[in-house]
Amino acid sequence: MRDVSIIGIGQTKVDEHWDRSLRHLAGDAVLAALRDAGAETVDALYVGNMLSGLLTGQEHLGALIADFCGLRGIEAVKVEAACGSGAAALRQGYAAVAGGLHDLVVVCGVEKMTDTVNAETTTGLVMAADADYESIHGITFVGINALLMRRYMYEYGAKHADFANFAIVAHQNAVTNPNAIFSSPITADQFSKARMIADPINLLDSSGIADGAAAVVLCPSGIARDGGGRSVHIRASSVATDAVAVHDRRDPLWLSAVEVSANKAYQQAQVGPREIDLFELHDAFTIMSALSLEAAGFAERGKGVWLAEAGEIALAGKIPMATMGGLKARGHPVGATGVYQVVEVVQQLRGQAGPNQVPNARLGMAQNIGGSGATVITHILEASD
C-alpha cells in the first residue's frame, strides 16, 4: 500500500452558527482545505457526520456537499461511527489513497447541532449508545459517562476535583485558538462549582455542543507537493471496536478498543507512546481523558487522572493534549471532531500552532471515539523533514 500524506487543511470556527447551514459549514472547510492544498478538484469526498438526519432532516451528505463545493459528479459518501464519524471518514479516505483507488481525496467532518428538526440534540447523542438495552431505560449519553466517572472515583479513590486540570488546560489552550468556541480560561474553583449535569459530571467536565466543520486533503506521499514542510505523513491509521453497551464489557473502566486501536497504530508506525509528542484525545468528558490515557499506554491503570494533576498534559508537559482546546473547549460538533483533531495535529507538526505550539513536535497522535469507547480510530501523523 502507498504512504499517504495530508497536504491541505481547513476548518470553521466551532460556534453556534445560526446563520450557516450544514452545507455552508462543510463548504467553508472543504474549500479552505482545497485552497491550502493548491487543489481545484479531487477524486472523491468522504463526509463524517452523525446527526444530520435527526437534527436537520438531511441525509445523503456526500452528493449534497460535493455539489455545493463545485465538485458535482465525483464519488462522495457519508461515513458514520457516532462521535467517531470524523476520523472514520478519514479512515475511508486513507484507505482509498493508500490502496490506489484515488490519488487525491478530501475528507470533511461536519455537524450542525444548534438547529434541530425531528428531535432534540440529547435524543440525537444517545443514538451513540445501545438503543435497545441502554437508551430505552431513559439514560442520556452524559448519564452513561457519569456512571463510568462515579465508578472510576470509587475504584481508584479519585475525587471530582482531581479531574479539574483536564478542563483547565483545555480552556487555557482554547484562549489562543481563534477557532475554539470557548475563549475564557477557567479556575479550579469554577470547575468545582459548575452546575451539575449528571452527577458527578458537571458543566465543566463536559465538552461543548456546537456547529462546525473541518477538512483535510490527502494524496500519496510520493506525489505530495511539499511546500516547505507543509505536508504531513500519516504514519498509522487504525480502527478497533467494542461492545456498544457498557454493561456488555468485561471491564467498564478499561477501554479495550482504545488499547487495541492504539497498539495497532503504534505497531504500524513502529513507535510507542513515549515517542508521541502530542496526543489529541477524545476528551468529550474529563473521565474519557483519564480512561483514554490509561488504555492508550500513557498512564497505568487507575493513574490517568493523575497525569492531569501532575501538569504533564500542558503544552510544555510530557504528553500535551487538547493543545488547541480539545473537545472540551475548542468544542465538539460530534461528527466533525475527528477531523478537527487531525487538522490541529497538522497545525502542530507544521509549526503553525502559534501561541499553542508544542515545542519540537514531530509525531502527533489523534484518537477519536464513537460512543463511550465502542469505536476507536487512531491516527499517528509525522512532520515532513
| Residues in touch with a copy of itself (CB under 8 A) | 1, 21, 23, 44, 50-51, 53-54, 56-64, 66-67, 72-82, 88, 91-92, 95-96, 98-101, 117-119, 123-124, 126-132, 135, 239-244, 248, 256-257, 260, 370-371, 374-375
Q: Are 292 and 313 in contact (CB under 8 A)?
A: no
Q: Do 311 and 305 touch, CB atoms closer than 8 A?
A: no
Q: What is residue 31's three-state secondary structure?
A: helix
Amino acid occupying residue 164: A
In whole angstroms, the minimum distance from the beta carbon of 54 to a copy of itself comes to 5
Residues labelled catalytic: 83, 332
**Closest CB to a copy of itself among 56 and 337?**
56
Which contiguous run of DSSP H or E holds residue 22?
Answer: helix 22-37
Task: Report the nearest approach of a copy of itself to the CB of residue 1 (Å).
Answer: 5
Residues contacting 140, CB < 8 A, separation 6+: 122, 125, 126, 198
Question: CB of 45: closest distance to a copy of itself in angstroms?
Answer: 9
> Considering beta carbons, is residue 290 or 377 the nearer one to a copy of itself?
377
What is the distance between the alpha carbons of residues 67 and 64, in angstroms, rounded to a whole number?
Answer: 5
Rounded to the nearest 10 degrees, how much is the dihedral formed by the CA atoms of 163, 240, 174, 253? -10
All 3 cell numbers of residue 382?
Answer: 509525522
Query: To the nearest whole angstrom, how small is the minimum distance from the Cβ of residue 47 to a copy of itself?
Result: 9
User: CB of residue 146 vs a copy of itself: minimum separation in angstroms?
Assistant: 19
Q: What is the DSSP string of 324-340?
A: T-HHHHT---HHHHHHH
Beta-carbon count within 10 A of 175 CB: 15
> What are the Cα distances from residue 205, in Å, to 67, 76, 197, 332?
39, 36, 9, 13
CB-nearer residue toward a copy of itself: 220 or 317: 220
Nearer to a copy of itself, 269 or 278 (CB): 269
Nearer to a copy of itself, 105 or 201 (CB): 105
Do 323 and 206 contact (CB within 8 A), yes or no?
no
Q: Compute the least distance from the CB of residue 307 to a copy of itself, in Å.
A: 26
Using the minimum distance from each CB to a copy of itself, give the nearer residue, 57 or 354: 57
